Amino acid sequence: MGLNLDEKKAVVAEVSAQVAASQTIVVAEYSGLQVGHLTKLRAQARKSGVYLRVLKNTLVRRAVEGSSFAGLAGKMSGPLIYGMSADPVAAAKVLNDFAKTNDKLVLKAGSYAGKVLDKAGVQALASIPSREELLAKLAYVMKAPVSGFAVALGALAKQREPAAA
C-alpha cells in the first residue's frame, strides 16, 4: 500500500530535517539482504548516531533539493538504503564495515562537503578515523611530553639525593 500525500509530505519533511543536520549521506543497494542482517545494520547505525532508512528515491530527491547533497540525486535509483550522519565519517564507516561482511549490501555512492563520491570515495571516507579516535590520539600525543618530563624530573631528583647525603 502506497503513502498518501500527507504521509509523503511528512516523510519529505523528516528526511529534509535529517539532511539539514547531516554532513554526509551514503547510499547503498540492499537487494537480497535478509531481515536479520538489516536489523543488525540498523542497530550498528543507531549506536554510531547514523540515521539509516529505506526510502522512496523520489521522496529523498525532493528532500535534498537545494541542499549541498543535490548532486547525489542522479545516483538515486534502484532499491536503496540511506545513511545520514552529522559525523562526517560515521555513515560511511557503518555501511562500509557492514558491506565488508555481507555481499548483499553494495555501496553505491555518497556525498560529503558538497561533493558526490563514488564507491571508492565512500570507502576512503570510511577509512578516516572518527572524531573520538582523533581526539584520543591527540590527548595521548599531548600527554606524552608531560609524562616524559615528569619521569625525567623524578630521575633527576633521585640522582641528587645521594649526593646530598
CATH number, domain with residue 61? 3.30.70.1730
In a shared domain, residues 86 and 73:
yes
In a shared domain, residues 137 and 72:
no
Average pLDDT over residues 135-160: 82
CB atoms within 10 A of CB 128: 13
Q: Is the pLDDT of residue 114 over 70?
A: yes
Residue 118: per-residue pLDDT? 92
In order of 56, 129, 153, 156, 159, the CA distances from 165 in angstroms are 83, 53, 19, 15, 11
In a shared domain, residues 123 and 62:
yes
Average pLDDT over residues 89-107: 91
In a shared domain, residues 23 and 101:
yes
Tell me the pLDDT band of 33, cut-offs 50, 70 and 90. Answer: confident
In a shared domain, residues 69 and 29:
yes
In a shared domain, residues 99 and 138:
no
In a shared domain, residues 114 and 137:
no
Total domains in the chain come to 2
Residue 92: per-residue pLDDT? 93
Q: Give CA–CA dist 158/121, Å, rounded.
A: 55
In a shared domain, residues 80 and 151:
no
Q: Give CA–CA dist 151/131, Å, rounded.
A: 30
Would the pTM count as exceeding 0.85?
no
Longest Cα–Cα distance in the chain: 91
Q: Which of 35-39, 59-63, 84-88, 156-160 has the lowest mean pLDDT?
A: 156-160
Please report the DSSP string for 2-66 in residue order. Answer: ---HHHHHHHHHHHHHHHHH-SEEEEEE-TT--HHHHHHHHHHHHHHT-EEEE--HHHHHHHHTT
Q: Is the pLDDT of residue 163 over 60?
A: no
Domain that holds residue 72: 5-128
In a shared domain, residues 18 and 82:
yes
Which three cell numbers mark 129? 578515523
In a shared domain, residues 49 and 107:
yes
In a shared domain, residues 41 and 87:
yes
In a shared domain, residues 14 and 47:
yes
